[in-house]
Structure 1
């Protein structure tokens, strides 16, 4: 760059005077490769074209260029550096400087030889110590790898970081294998937890037994059947009925299923034993079916009650119809009234059955705003006959949060419930004036209904059966 500044604005015949005392060789060349000035060559015309020189090509393309080679003109090695040069004329030039490189090249060759000899000696010494150290080092690394796998760690450094590449590659394989094993163990543990949750959420008692009757796995359902924590099934269960059935399943090694009634607690259980041949194990499930059996009993009682309820008015109707044929005119009106009352009773029974069916078939609530006065009026109208007959009184007490005095409810279902309860309160009443008191209170998200009467009431031991379908207290 300094040479470029010095040469700037000078004529070619002035360069010889400027660069006569410098050791650098100074050359000016145009873009076609023609030499216009060379500080070491008096006759530039005999110099060959420089367009193919590496530093000239680079300078034209990339502003500057560099190369080291033997000069054909001077027979010595030179380092060449060239840059674009503007001399104030229309023609474009390259200014190139060069310095003799022969002596430095010889020095570099001598130094390289010394280095090669030094590294050969150093490698020989290193190899000698390496081959004597390798066996013991490998043993230590194998021991380290073994401890790593046994420890269940995820990450551990091998040692100082100077081992051969193949050792590190093998070490990476081991670490990946260890990571996969730990991931699989974690996955299995997670799946086991999910399985435990599933087994625990089942509403049946589940237990897995081995061929000797030892408990391998169980959930916590139906704990009232168990006596204590024990590995043996015959020591864990309280009741001989279950123990005997499981013993039968273990001895037969077949899938068996049986309904068992335990007299001590008055409950029914469905016990199922499945033999797993592959593992020689037994899966035992015990399901409480007491409610199902009781529902069957309730249905039987219902059929019996329905038969009885229908039979009585039908018998009365049939009897009085026969009596009407020969009855005197004075008694016929009385007989017709009795028949009408029995028909009304039959109609009420049928309506009750239809209401039950309707409730069960429609679980959707039709919520609409209903005025309290409308509820009171409809209840009075639906029970007008029995109210007038018994001289009953119905009192309402409303506590509502809104000023419009309306409640949001399914009017049809609400009236069905109120009518049924109020009607029972009037009908099963031995007072001269039956009184029914209804208290309706609105909460944040619900309405509470309290209904009280002055009738015969419900025996305390029967209260829990109020919501059992079709249950009736003995009329006596």
Structure 2
């Protein structure tokens, strides 16, 4: 399921709030506990030094019974356990237990520290009272000699009770802060996600073709700038789409008005565009999405299209479709790897071309017979006329030969248009050919003051 921008923002704030709250709780609990224990330790040190003044005289006089009574009274009044211990670890007095029944305390960590002349501190489990306790031990000296140890201690259960109460209060405060933070995060997330949601909805409407949508935001920030740019972009897209639609309609109108058949085929061979003339030529209505070989059922055309796509070049050929002749032209589009094909109906052109060809052949044949007869008569008269008339007879003979040559050339040109005609190559005397041409055009050139000269090295080709 796709997550909304609101759920992502609000979810992120929730994670941050709970992470920070957890860190605050952990560090505050540890800091408060450490601070409270340090405060209690300092208080126990002060009490120990205060009791030390009352305990020292009795310890010097070795009045241990009186010392035990004093310790029990003091411990009861201040709710603190007090113990007086000999340098060898023997317990002289204790506010909670009978000292005679207590074990040697020389191995206790706070006692070891006090026997070194320092203040001993320890937070540990008491094997005597079977509970966690906080200990502070100070040395009792006489003439720079340690004559005993005064130890004051508190039950940790009392400390834990107070700390638990503080934890509950801190937790309540943190929960209230979390509640207000979540409300603030909710409001902020909605204010941030709402314009983004509006932009998303607007873009979706634009994607479906609605370009009249507008977004208006009140806040003067980056989102308002984004909304203004979005509105400007929407107007530009609307203008472009309108222009493209008009151009598309214009193009479709042009394509539809083209008399020649038009078809566009992509690189896979599918038809992507065609006009009505093409449908009329191939006499089918089902074209869109089909392959060209399904529509143009001509091996020659299919091979030509395939060749154009593979070789990426323009090709053309004449083909017969539905008893008509067409000039099939293919243009390859390199950018899209598509081909545009035009079918020009050349049936009428071919018919007229055949008529012209037949006319030329018929006229040539009709002219050749009288010209041949004229040539025969000229040759016959050549021996009968006088010398003065031979000049004119030669002119008639030469022009008759020219007409016969023209007729032969027409027949030759007509034959060259036939397929399968092979050229017959032969060696000619180039100098003689040029001299003949010069003689033919010499008289016309002189009338126009043009002088024709043949420049040759004299060698025959």
For Structure 1 versus Structure 2, the TM-score category normalised by the shorter chain is: 0.3 to 0.5
Higher relative contact order (CA 8 A, sep 6+): 2
- Structure (1 or 2) with the greater strand fraction: 1
Point out the structure with max Rg over C-alpha. 2
- Using structure 2 for the length normalisation, give the TM-score: 0.36
TM-score, length of structure 1 as denominator length? 0.35
